[in-house]
Structure 1
Amino acid sequence: MSDNKTLNRRVLLAWLGSLGAPAFALEPLLAKNAPMGIDPRAYLVSEKLDGVRALWDGTTLRFRSGRTVSAPAWFLAGLLKTPLDGELWMGRRSFDVLSGIVRRAEPVDAEWRRVRYRVFELPAGEGTFEQRADRLKALAGEVVQPVEQQRVASNAELRAKLKQIVDAGGEGLMLHRADAPLASGRSDLLLKLKLLADAEAVVVGHEPGKGRFAGQLGALELQTPEGVRFKLGTGFTEAQRRDPPPVGAMVTYRYRDLTPAGKPRFASFVRVADDF
């Protein structure tokens, strides 16, 4: 994260704290990449939803950044008074449409009728993750839909489940330590398993395009949280090359593996990260 984004988040955290907003509204638990050979027996496994992360503190629904989600009153009324962590979701392969819906300053009621809040954590809950997941089941309703968590007995079974999800248009799997206490930040208590790994990095520069991309973006210069810099030149739409993510933006990219220097191999742009 860039120094400016870190500072902005700290300022926002202090401001929200003065209003009584909980810290988890800004610092949810974030996943690390899981190795393909992982033994899943210590985890609860669920589908990785390609939605927009949102946190409900009992009165206000916020994005990861702390900004308020402008959802219709009927949608918020369906969220109860229990703090929740989850994703706004409307089905597989629909992120771009969903993103447009939930980012509008004035919500369109008919659009929001297609959105559900798929929840996977009780930010004010106690006990292990498995115990908290069990308590979530009692909160199911028209708007709130708990994410199904399953035990998986072996790596072979895990790989088969991953293939099934991906073949059906899903993103991958999430593995959450069943015995995990509440936690925040990037942690190996929560892992994501995909055929291709993904990660986030900050835009620190733009390289101009050449040839058919002349006058447009050629590549983004990115910096990872570990300080590794690399150029990302594939995966962009024509519109994104004309109007690329600005310096300071956090973007998500997909890659196969890492070089010894920590640079991603065969990296491709996915989107601006959902830290709205």
Structure 2
Amino acid sequence: MRRVKIQLIACLPLTFGGLFWPSLLSANTLPPLMLAAQYQQQDNLSDYWVSEKLDGVRAYWDGERLYTRQGHPINAPEWFIHRLPPIPLDGELWLGRGRFAELSGIVRTQQPDHQAWQSVSYQLFDLPSQLSTFDQRLADLKHLTEQLDLPWLNVVAHEKFANHQALQQRLEQLSQAGAEGLMLHRGSAYHQLGRSDDLLKYKLYEDTEAVIIGYSQGQGQFSGLMGALVVRLNDGKTFKIGSGFSLQERQNPPAIGQTITFRYNGKTANGLPRFARFMRVREE
């Protein structure tokens, strides 16, 4: 199998600025992903490519199969993946802004719903095994998708900004339209495993994770429904999150023991998140 894989790579009618090596995942192996650090105002902002932070499911293609960020296989339809190249790809499965819960339901199914997958796109943002700078990897991604010409395969749009004021204006514009925020990728950077200052995320709010340990009953219009989740942070502190839920989520709240992602704006004097708002259940 490995010999065939190398031959396929050598025969691809593609011209890239770096070299590839096969990167097939074995069982219980996390994908070799580059993770973002928090943005701090940069003096050399023109060195970075800026893209929208998509509200989707991170999807790593190892040359044969799609995997989540935690290394779990994604059961995509054969027609969705059969023309993807035998080289690693990093991107996001995406339905559109504000549709994460719907997308999660599609991606989680053991037997793929072919009709539902028709609306899913694979938005690429890196070639993780290419030995070249991000400037070159981005150019090669565009060339790759043009040659494959698949309607559900795209490269995330990137642009550059001269200063922080222009970047902030773009962040506010996209956030008002429902976007999560921005990603900044240093053009001269090589792909790295783990968290790196060469990849930054920038939002109008902060987000983190917590484990559900209980519920509180709803009052008034939410009588008979879940009113708030009782959650525990990594530091052991507990508090309630009572906003950000749809009616369906209040009727069928996430299970105790599950990990959720929530957004907040700063912390109180006691170290608890202020204005906490539920976002999603973490993909396992």
State if a TM-score over 0.5 links the two structures. yes
- CA 1:123–1:260 in 2, change beyond 3 Å: closer, same or farther? farther
Consecutive unaligned residues in structure 2, runs of 5 or more: 1-22
2-side partners of 1:252 and 1:194: how far apart? 14
Opposite residue 133 of structure 1, the aligned amino acid is L
**1:151 corresponds to:** 160
Q: Which moved more, 1:151-160 or 1:170-179?
A: 170-179
**2:54 corresponds to:** 49
2-side partners of 1:118 and 1:85: how far apart? 9
**1:3 corresponds to:** none
Q: Is the 8 A contact 1:78 1:144 kept in 2?
A: no
What's the TM-score, normalizing by structure 1? 0.80
Q: Does the residue aligned with 2:173 lie in a helix, a strand or coil? A: helix
Q: Is the 8 A contact 1:256 1:265 kept in 2?
A: yes
- CA 1:118–1:214 in 2, change beyond 3 Å: closer, same or farther? same
- Is 2:111 the counterpart of 1:103? no
2-side partners of 1:262 and 1:178: how far apart? 36
1-side partners of 2:239 and 2:71: how far apart? 29
1-side partners of 2:246 and 2:131: how far apart? 44
Q: CA deviation at 1:232?
A: 1.8
- CA 1:190–1:218 in 2, change beyond 3 Å: closer, same or farther? same
Q: Is the 8 A contact 2:24 2:64 kept in 1?
A: no
Q: Does the residue aligned with 1:96 lie in a helix, a strand or coil? A: helix
- CA 1:201–1:132 in 2, change beyond 3 Å: closer, same or farther? farther
What's the TM-score, normalizing by structure 2? 0.78
For residue 36 of structure 2, the aligned residue among 31, 37, 42 is 31
Q: CA deviation at 1:156?
A: 1.0
Q: Does the residue aligned with 2:140 lie in a helix, a strand or coil? A: helix
Q: Is the 8 A contact 1:24 1:123 kept in 2?
A: no
Q: CA deviation at 1:270?
A: 1.2
**1:136 corresponds to:** 141
- CA 1:18–1:167 in 2, change beyond 3 Å: closer, same or farther? closer
Q: CA RMSD in A?
A: 2.7
2-side partners of 1:239 and 1:53: how far apart? 24
1-side partners of 2:210 and 2:115: how far apart? 35
- Is 2:279 the counterpart of 1:270? yes
**2:99 corresponds to:** 94
2-side partners of 1:38 and 1:199: how far apart? 23
Opposite residue 69 of structure 1, the aligned amino acid is I
Q: CA deviation at 1:227?
A: 4.8
Q: CA deviation at 1:194?
A: 2.1
Q: Does the residue aligned with 1:70 lie in a helix, a strand or coil? A: coil
**1:121 corresponds to:** 126
2-side partners of 1:86 and 1:18: how far apart? 16
**2:263 corresponds to:** 254
- CA 1:250–1:29 in 2, change beyond 3 Å: closer, same or farther? farther
**Identical-residue share of aligned pairs (%):** 44
2-side partners of 1:187 and 1:223: how far apart? 27
Q: Which moved more, 1:110-119 or 1:52-61?
A: 110-119
Q: CA deviation at 1:240?
A: 2.5
Q: Is the 8 A contact 1:218 1:241 kept in 2?
A: yes
Matches within 5 A, 1:76-95: 76-95=81-100
Q: How many residue pairs are counted as aligned between the two chains?
A: 256
2-side partners of 1:63 and 1:32: how far apart? 20
Opposite residue 118 of structure 2, the aligned amino acid is R
Q: Is the 8 A contact 1:206 1:217 kept in 2?
A: no
- Cα shift readout 1:71-91 (whole Å, capped 9, x = no counterpart): 111111132111111101122
2-side partners of 1:263 and 1:166: how far apart? 24
